[in-house]
Amino acid sequence: MSAMLKHVAIICVCAYLLPYFLRWYYSITIDQPDEEYDFIIVGAGTAGNVIANRLTESPNTKVLALEAGDNDAPNFFISVPLFAPFLQRSKRDWQFRTEPQKKACLLLKDNVSLWPRGKVIGGSSTMNYLWYVRGGKDGYDSWEKSGATGWSYKDVLPYFKKSEQAMHKNMTEDFHGTDGYLKTSYPYNSELGNIMLKAGEELGYKHTDYNADDMVGFHLAQQTVYNGQRITSASSFLRPIIKERRKRLHIVGRAHVRQIVFEAGEDGRKRASGVIYVRDDVEVKVRARKEVIVSGGAVGSPQLLMLSGIGPKQHLNDMEIPVVADLKGVGQNLKDHVYVPATIHASNLTDGISVNDNTLFKTAFEYLLRGTGPLGYAGPEAQALIRSSHAKTNSPDIQLILLSAEWTMANIEANQNNLNYKQEYVDRLRQWGEEHDTKTLSNFLIFNGVLDPTSVGYIKLRSSNYLDHPVIQPNYLSNQKDVEIMIEGFRLIEKLEKTKSFKEIGAKMELSALNCGDETQSPRSDKFYECMVRAITGTSFHPVGTAKIGAPSDVMAVVDPRLRVYKVDGLRVADASVMPSIPSANTQAACYMIGEKAADMIKEDWNL
């Protein structure tokens, strides 16, 4: 008996110590940084990790990356793509919230949209929905025309290719990279994804490589997934190189930067000389010999700039923050893609066409053995990229995304913290299910989004306390044009309903629970769809533009075309906040590109 107790005790001790061992084994962070570095990067996210990797290719360059979140591994919810929603509202999520919206989000609690952003090594690349979409040529050419010299499509394409290691077949080397750190592929797709492509063909749309010349058409998803595993900026740009570069690349987690430190330069201009961060309630000051690079994203970067005295003078005065540089554009020019889900009922679906709980249970063993099956994708698997009648360029301005998973009342209740629906809407959904004697609210979803939004918002400080989340006001659907584009998106779904491919599975929109009228069948009125769009507006998690690139003559520009912050020295911003306008695409790919291009410019400026 004593021997058995001894073995049990050993097992218990091992089980107790295992999490600590795993954290030590997988950790890429240090606890105590040096006093001085060549470069300090604030934010170990999508762009920041690219910069950290590329700058430390120079053997004599010493870099510190600071991240407010903790290590990304080991974490099952990060590595398994389908588990992305479980990271929202967790400690790895900043859990930002918008201000109440007047013309959108009307069926969300308090009319507020939740903005999940990654608070972890790897940033939002650890919790996004993995789409690798670059956006149309015209969008980047418009950056160049707006004053972002050197950011045209021909200028940025080499940096998209530089970061990518395309693992999918039939890709064109003119548009895809094969030697980069970031693996991309076509992940799992259900038969429903193929059905959507066939329906698109019936409507005259082709299936192309949307990251090549022409984006318009119906497509399967290219994603940052390989062998069923999520590929993040940490797993691709940090973990493969950290062992050999530990002496010149230091990463500190749980390090929340509260202020950029400035000193007077020789010409009287202020120069960024370091940062102050807080870790476990202890303040630490670190000096930068060359530059501080802010990569905190479209929310975090303008917040830190303003906390450090860079921003609109009057706002800084109101917050009682000493002004270092009066830059009116900090926090302005906020844009985001918005989406509205259409619930689709398919009366003739056969087993295996779409994804449901039974499918996941049956394929769990397949995923564990070979990394294949539906667990190896994040849900969205096919899309349509279409030009509306409002489109000003050849780039699409409508995106329809297929989520080929059943949506049940149990899903609603389990995800209510993320969905944030008002109870009245949840009650109507439950009542609809009871009236139709079904637990399935939809067999799949099609998300309808506007890629070229006209509505513009802002971010400003709530207080001078770095722990207080900023005021986020996206002003969703404040411009009627955005609503009109989304109505055209619903007209396209109505056309899909009429295709042979959709009729064979009995696919039709079921939207009666919205309380927007009794128009139960397509075609519905513009008034119905406007009601729907304003009722359940959702973020696509693509905020950009709050520290935009621009010419010196542009009073709203925050950084110059080399990403250097105006009116100060030794400070750059490199992340989604510098985008002058939002690409016609999910923004992940563009953030990797910005990191690559920023690193090259920094190397050039310092002869590294």
Distance CA 43, CA 300 (A): 9
Contact 298, 46 (CB under 8 A): no
Burial class (CB in 10 A: 0-12, 13-18, 19+), 470: buried
C-alpha closest to that of 133 among 220, 207, 48: 220
Higher pLDDT residue, 84 or 478? 478
Q: Which two tokens stand for residue 206?
A: 């082709």
Per-position DSSP letters for 172-217, written without gaps between them: -TTT--SSSSEEEB-----HHHHHHHHHHHHTT-----TTSS---E
pLDDT tens per residue, range 236-264 = 999 999 999 999 999 999 999 999 999 99
CA angle centred on 95, ends 476 and 481, rounded to 5°: 10
Which three-class secondary structure state does DSSP give residue 226? strand
Higher pLDDT residue, 307 or 214? 307
483 has pLDDT over 60 = yes
Q: What is the pLDDT of residue 357?
A: 67
C-alpha closest to that of 303 among 558, 608, 21, 605: 558
pLDDT tens per residue, range 18-28 = 444 445 567 99
Query: pLDDT-based confidence at 49, cuts 50/70/90?
Result: very high
Q: What is the CA radius of gyration of the chain?
A: 24
In Å, what is the CA distance from 515 to each residue of 178, 444, 511, 532? 50, 20, 9, 9
C-alpha closest to that of 211 among 18, 383, 416, 464: 383
Q: What percent of the chain has pLDDT over 70?
A: 95
74 has pLDDT over 90 = no
Contact 292, 570 (CB under 8 A): yes
Q: What is the pLDDT of residue 273?
A: 98
Segment among 122-126, 137-141, 187-191, 361-365 with least mean pLDDT: 361-365
In Å, what is the CA distance from 118 to each residue of 81, 234, 250, 511? 15, 12, 20, 32
Q: What is the pLDDT of residue 13?
A: 46
Segment among 113-122, 293-302, 430-439, 532-541 with least mean pLDDT: 430-439
* Mean pLDDT value across residues 559-583: 98
C-alpha closest to that of 200 among 469, 40, 376, 402: 402
Distance CA 556, CA 331 (A): 10
5 has pLDDT over 60 = no
CATH fold of 34-72+119-186+232-332+543-608 reads: FAD/NAD(P)-binding domain (3.50.50)
Distance CA 37, CA 253 (A): 17
Residue spans per domain, the chain: 34-72+119-186+232-332+543-608
Element (H, E) at 346: strand 338-346
| Residue of 176, 315, 345, 542 with catalytic role | 542
pTM: 0.95
Q: What is the pLDDT of residue 16?
A: 42
Per-position DSSP letters for 353-421, written without gaps between them: SSB-HHHHHHHHHHHHHHS-SGGGS-SEEEEEEE--TT--SSS--EEEEEE-B-EEHHHHHHTHHHH-B
Distance CA 251, CA 256 (A): 13
Distance CA 386, CA 396 (A): 5
Distance CA 418, CA 86 (A): 9
265 has pLDDT over 60 = yes
Distance CA 494, CA 499 (A): 9
Q: What is the pLDDT of residue 15?
A: 43
Query: pLDDT-based confidence at 17, cuts 50/70/90?
Result: very low
C-alpha closest to that of 484 among 534, 520, 535, 540: 534
pLDDT tens per residue, range 310-366 = 999 999 999 999 999 999 999 999 999 999 999 999 999 876 677 776 667 677 777
Contact 223, 132 (CB under 8 A): yes
Place of tokens 């430190």: 261
516 has pLDDT over 60 = yes
Q: What is the pLDDT of residue 405?
A: 84
* Mean pLDDT value across residues 151-179: 92
Give catalytic status of residue 542 as yes or no.
yes
10 has pLDDT over 70 = no
* Mean pLDDT value across residues 153-167: 97
Q: What is the pLDDT of residue 352?
A: 65
Query: pLDDT-based confidence at 52, cuts 50/70/90?
Result: very high
- Give the phi and the psi of residue 8 in degrees, each rounded to 5: -65, -40
Residue 222 per-residue DSSP state: P
Burial class (CB in 10 A: 0-12, 13-18, 19+), 51: buried
Contact 135, 583 (CB under 8 A): yes
What mean pLDDT, rounded, does the chain reach? 92
* Mean pLDDT value across residues 180-196: 93
Reduce the secondary structure of 445-482 to three states and give it as a string. Answer: EEEEEECCCCCCEEEECCCCCCCCCCEEECCCCCCHHH
* Mean pLDDT value across residues 418-447: 92
Distance CA 358, CA 520 (A): 30
Distance CA 43, CA 257 (A): 9
Amino acid at 399: Q
* Mean pLDDT value across residues 408-419: 87
